[in-house]
Structure 1
């Protein structure tokens, strides 16, 4: 019997539209095999969003690319903390090339499965990978290949925002700028506050979008399931109606046969009575 990790890995590489049916099939197989614990664990697995599914596929097929991105992100973070402008410039260029390869890989994975990679799907994938660069727990989730929904990094560290927004030298203050920042004007503070609010609103909007997309996916699956159930019931009803028509035809034939048999029975009964009467008369005449 296969274990939970193996089955879950396969399930999360399954298109979201097929996930629930496949999960329930695996749970039934486990239950039929007597492993109720595994069946219960499988039933608890949540269906991934389209973007999360693409992240899982990316990890399964291009783990080297993802690991390269994680390594490059660590180096870029160290360079930013050290305020090493030359290193940041070099690593940023490498990161842009790597992200182009990852974007092409995602498009290829989608095309192979008949999925068009929209801007929203791209943002979901980028957001999750971006969060993985800033959070080891998210990175571990990506490496598990069992991402359920996209993750948005809410911090303001070097990896905040989309992966497409690669840090440049403009994000690294020079010594002169550091001095002026200590004497920032009220206008600068207002601008920083406005930027922080805008980033917070953006994060909220993305979260709302993710929840809406997840709800849409669930409702779409529920609608598809109900539609399939209705079609099955219609087919069963048509079969029953056909069966009723056949039974009614058989009943009519049986009634016709019964009437004919009744007539034959009545003639036989009359013949029997006449024969008995003739026998009685013959017996009287013979005395």
Structure 2
């Protein structure tokens, strides 16, 4: 998590190392009127920042306060838009940050699909907040481009992901816009003017709302489990249907083969019966011819006997 620190050569911008290499909060003196001046500067019109800052420095009660005031840097336009929103829509911002904290806690219980849906809802919410902030800034005479509005949304998104960024945004003293970094928590003192901001005191949700939210989480978790079980059952059913269709097809093939073999067997039996009939007839003819042959032989033998007549 980090802020987009502007060009150190520009008027009122913070260098890559912060103010003279130190966190912005390191310049804060322990004086009650200093915070009032900081609030005035970072919620006022950007065009008046430098002149107001110099005037307050000249009117400071002592040199330390004057030096601390002069060290304050002009916020980027996106940071100013966020500051105006944080001050004039504090209740709306607090509710959004409380919701963000709830969402961070809920993420551990969500699966990939639910996390993706949560991400879409988060982007939609920060887009609406950024649009509201831009409209509020325009009503105060500010010029808010599309790029500035996108930077505001990115800053609000950072506050949704990181408590340190949330504290910086809620302070109303942001010097530069923020972005979602690599998971490291932001040190608010590096991007906020004046005293290091404390974590915003988010009003706890009413007991019935908390109970309802927890019940929704349990219901969502139960729904996810049921959907996973349904998906598994559907896969098993699909596989069983596929196996049943394959078994039916195989059964039909085997039945067809059996019918074919039975037909062949019937034909073979018929052929065997016919062959046996032919064999019986042939045997009968053989026996008849054999008897006729024997008779002829006897006749010939008798004719050859002495005294036989010709």
Which category describes the TM-score, using the shorter chain as reference length? 0.3 to 0.5
Q: Which has the higher contact order (CA 8 A, sep 6+)?
A: 2
With the length of structure 2 as denominator, give the TM-score of the two structures: 0.44
The structure carrying a bigger helix percent of its residues is: 1
Bigger Rg over Cα: 2
